[in-house]
Amino acid sequence: METRQSKSQRLLVGVVLVLTLLGLTVIALDWKEIRQVVVAANWKLVPVALLFTALSYTCMSYAFAVSNRLFSVKMALHELAKIGFVSQVLNHLLSSGGAAGYSMRFLTMGRQGVRTQDILAASFFHFYVTSLGMLSLLPAGVAYVLLRHPLSGSMTRALGFGMVLMVAIFLLGTLTVFVRPVRTAVIHLVARAGRTVARRDINEPLAEFNDTISRGVDGARRRPARFLALLALVSADWIFSLIAMAFCFNALGDPIKAGVLVTGYTFGVLAGVLSMIPGGLGVQEGSMAGIYALLGVPFQQAVLAAVLFRIVYYFVPYLVSLAFYRRMLRQLPAPETAGAIEP
């Protein structure tokens, strides 16, 4: 009779194979654009872009690890960082609302004895802090467009409305994370929606999730140095990714101004994330190229730079992450011998 351990192992292997196939498919769909970039780029500058990409992912991975430590997850820091790297690469490449990366976290961390509520809460908190970077860049990008490239009245209103909406959503998220009564009210609404739509009572798991978030927030207040380290890692992640984008432009033509770089990058990445198309396929490049062209960058350079950034920041890290899968499958212990988490 097949043991629980072997079933869990087969499930993890199956998920890894499916995600690997999906990732390679996304790369294959962009192959024509990749060939154009290979011909046009100055490859002396591409290694520099790869260096800053590596620094960005290092900060991103350890930010995930620190987030989990705030929620008392007792796994080795380097193991958490490894899982953070693999899952973030999947989220970037597949743009499935985080489903691909979160599935990987549930399977790998669950085998180490970490509860689902802890994984979900730590991931939610990490996503919130990471979104701080995007929100800080968005107003700067909007202001740059309005000041340097005046738009029509309708476009200005639409842009302003979009920014206000994003800020409102972020403020609601902040209140939900740090103010327990607000979080309890939101969770109550989610529970009611679950009963109405799915006809299931999900009050108990949501209450456990609420308690877990509270424990993580309390951990951040008790360990301000750890929380500040998390903010520093997230900030460095965004800065290094912007520098990688800048070197992609340098490899394909003249350097661009910092304001232009930040504006196009912010709106392009945001469009790719919101599109829910795997890897923002076509959407991110089109959005970046259009905005950069609007800001005075030659259209061909903008398109090729966006494709080169996809190669450097999405495809190369994905190929690197494949080497981690076998090691993760080999090293992860069975559930019976897995480590525990702090109470």
Amino acid at position 152, single letter: S
Q: Give the per-residue pLDDT at 66.
A: 94
Averaged over 265-278, what is the pLDDT? 69
Beta strands in 2-144 (DSSP E): none
Q: What angle do CA 58, 177, 339 make, to 5 degrees?
A: 55
Distance, CA of 120 to CA of 68 (rounded, Å): 10
Better pLDDT: 275 or 115: 115
- Mean pLDDT of the chain, nearest integer: 78
**Structure tokens, 231:** 């903010």
Three-state SS for 79?
Answer: helix
Residue of 30 and 245 predicted with greater confidence:
245
Query: Regarding predicted confidence, which is higher, 74 or 282?
Result: 74
248-259 pLDDT, tens digit each:
999 988 888 888
Over 60: is that where the pLDDT of 88 sits?
yes
Other beta carbons less than 10 A from residue 245's beta carbon: 27
**pLDDT reported for residue 272:** 65
Give the mean model confidence (pLDDT) for residues 137-153: 75
Question: What global pTM score does this model have?
Answer: 0.79
- Residues 5-12, mean pLDDT to the nearest whole number: 55
Between vectors from CA 88 to CA 83 and to CA 93, what angle results, nearest 5°?
A: 135
Report the chain's C-alpha Rg in angstroms. Answer: 21
pLDDT value of residue 131: 82
For residue 246, is pLDDT > 60? yes
Higher pLDDT, 65 or 98: 65
Residue ranges per domain, the chain? 4-337
| Average pLDDT of span 136-163 | 75
Q: Give 30 or 88, the one with higher predicted confidence.
A: 88
As given in the structure block, the two tokens for residue 286 are 């089109």
What pLDDT is stored for residue 130 in this prediction? 87
Largest CA distance in the chain: 70
Helix (H) or strand (E) holding 251: none
